[in-house]
Homo-oligomer: A and B are copies of this chain.
Amino acid sequence: MKVLMLISNGFEEIEALGTVDVLRRLGVEVTTCSVTGLKKIISSRGIPIVCDKEVSDIYADAALWDAVVLPGGQPNSNTLRDSDKVMEIVKDFADSGKLTCAICAAPIALERAGLLSGRKVTAYPGCLACDGSYEYTGEKVVRDGNIITSKGPGTMYDFAFEIANALGLGNKLEELKAAMMLY
């Protein structure tokens, strides 16, 4: 299983790195991929990390991946939304039936790409326009077809586990929860 995480400055630490942690523990090959032009980015609370790749250095074709994940935090969420390259990638993934996932404010990127229409979705309260073209449920995590959305750092495990389930890894979750002292 190969998961592409698109990320930039101001990402939310738990949403991004907690999701990477959970998925890598499950044996998923996660590639953290900066969209800023530089592999070194800094989190919303000032932690510098080095991404595995920069987006111009990878083949982002949906055919090569199983899922794309957009963490939240600001200005990361706005950067992802405003990037034409990110728009191109998430549309390719969603149209190819690949999992397309966003948490916190990052569903605004899926909204701009037109991927929420007709879907049930969730997100950090107040960040989506909620123009009537989709149903905002306010749940911790929502999967509607190949679109998974979630609310914030406090729902990171719900988000990561829903991605794992959708990747067919649900049978590994009880062992993972025990190993992570989640109960």
Question: What 1/0 flags go to A14-44 for Cβ under 8 Å of B?
Answer: 1001101100110000001000000010010
A10 within 8 A of B: no
User: What separation, in Å, do the CA atoms of A84 and B14 have in the docked complex?
Assistant: 31
Binding site for B on A (CB under 8 A): 12-14, 17-18, 20-21, 24-25, 32, 40, 43, 45-50, 104, 124, 140, 151-155, 157, 177, 179-183
- Name the B residues within 8 Å of A21 (CB-CB): 12-14, 43, 45, 153
Query: Are A154 and B140 closer than 8 Å at their CB atoms?
Result: no
Query: Are B46 and A24 closer than 8 Å at their CB atoms?
Result: yes
Question: Which of these, B17, B49, B50, B154, contacts A181 with CB under 8 Å?
Answer: B154
- Nearest-CB distance from A13 to chain B (Å)? 4
User: What separation, in Å, do the CA atoms of A179 and B154 have in the docked complex?
Assistant: 9
User: What separation, in Å, do the CA atoms of A24 and B43 have in the docked complex?
Assistant: 12
- Nearest-CB distance from A164 to chain B (Å)? 15
Query: Are A140 and B181 closer than 8 Å at their CB atoms?
Result: yes
- Name the B residues within 8 Å of A182 (CB-CB): 153-154
Beta-carbon nearest neighbor of A181 in chain B:
B152
